[in-house]
Amino acid sequence: MGRRKKHAEHVNHERWLISYADFITLLFAFFVVMFSTSQVDQRRLGAFSESFAGATGVTIVPRGSDGLMMANTNTPPRRAERREVTDPHVVFSLENLAEALNGAITHNTGMESVRVIRRRNDFVLRMPDHVFFESGDASVKDAALTILTNLARSLKEFPVNMRVEGHTDGNPIRTSRYRSNWELSTARAVSVLQVIAGAAFPPDHLSASGYGEFHPIAPNTTDDGRQQNRRVDIVVSIHDPANDSALDADAAVDPVAAIRAEVGDASAASPDTAGDASAAGTDAAVMDDAAAAPAD
């Protein structure tokens, strides 16, 4: 019996279509993913931009605008400072204030040693103590009187607040007049404030505080560092009546009365505790009477 002949296998010339179809499918899926990720949620982007700007001072600007806007500051705001200024007129006034400060330093003799530092919402006029005071003393020098008077006259036309901050180095002081660096720094700040107020600057826009050696800007381990730390800072900020009213309202609250009210509410809410306390007081009184009675 003869063998059955094998049929010749057909060559599948269309097998490449399977790989091509898989490639096209993957490519389509890739473009779908890329398109979906390119659709930015504007609400989330805005929230992220605000939080990022508050932490770093840098504002993220959407594509197509002028680019990146960076606040001119390297110092984070202190916890006790005023809220961020957002009113456009106030921001414009800050620029005018910067020009006024630079003009006051440039045109007034003796102010070359004053350093102007721009922060988020205010300016710091940094003055070394040797220009204004003798060592261990809080009396303003005659030469410094002219500097402070010219500064006050240059700024009194602007709606600004001035906070005078006194600082010392880390070397302790204990004299008959100043028992600590706190007292010395506070006395110096008040002396500067009085000179500024005497130059017709609005006194209700002035304040003074002393920080002693506890806010250094340089190490107290070197002579140069200690010299930098002995300073007077005048913080100049835009006067915000709305914010001042809120601070005055908070200051008008009597903290002692508030605490007493809370304690009274707690006592009224737990009469059993009050009764136990009264009973304990009665027992203590009986024991005291017994102890006071003469022994037989």
Domain containing residue 97: CATH number: 3.30.1330.60
Statement to judge: residues 137 and 217 lie in one domain: yes
Confidence at residue 91, expressed as pLDDT on a 0 to 100 scale: 53
Q: Let me know whether 46 and 98 are in one domain.
A: no
pTM of the predicted structure, to 2 decimals: 0.54
**DSSP letter at 59?**
E
Q: Indicate the residue among 210, 234, 249 that finishes a domain.
A: 249
In a domain, 276, yes or no: no
The answer to the question of residue 286 being in a domain is no
264 vs 142: which has the higher pLDDT: 142
CB neighbour burial string for 165-178, b if at least 16 within 10 angstroms, e if fewer: bbbbbeeebeeeeb
Which tens digit of pLDDT belongs to each residue from 6-37?
A: 655 666 667 778 888 888 999 999 888 888 77
Percentage with pLDDT > 70 across the chain: 58
Same domain, 104 and 229: yes
| 206 residue type, one letter | L
Q: 220 and 146 in one domain? A: yes
Beta bridge partners of 127: 232
What is the per-residue pLDDT across 51-80, written as a single tens digit (0 to 9) for each? 655 554 445 455 544 444 444 444 444 444
Paired strand residues for 235: 124, 163
Q: Where are the beta strands (DSSP E) in 6-89?
A: 58-59, 69-70
**Is residue 15 in some structural domain?**
no
Do 164 and 214 meet the contact criterion of CB atoms below 8 Å apart?
no
8 A C-beta contact, residue 147 and residue 114? yes
The residues, any chain, with a CB within 8 Å of residue 77's CB and separated by 6 or more, are 84, 119, 120, 121
- Regarding whether 105 and 59 lie in a shared domain, the answer is no
Domain count, the chain: 2
Structure tokens at 63: 């594509």
Measured CA to CA, the distance from residue 275 to residue 222 in angstroms comes to 64
Assess if residue 5 is contained within a domain: no
Give yes or no: residues 159 and 58 share one domain: no
Domain containing residue 214: 88-249
Q: Say yes or no: 60 and 185 in one domain.
A: no
Whether the predicted pLDDT of 247 surpasses 70: no
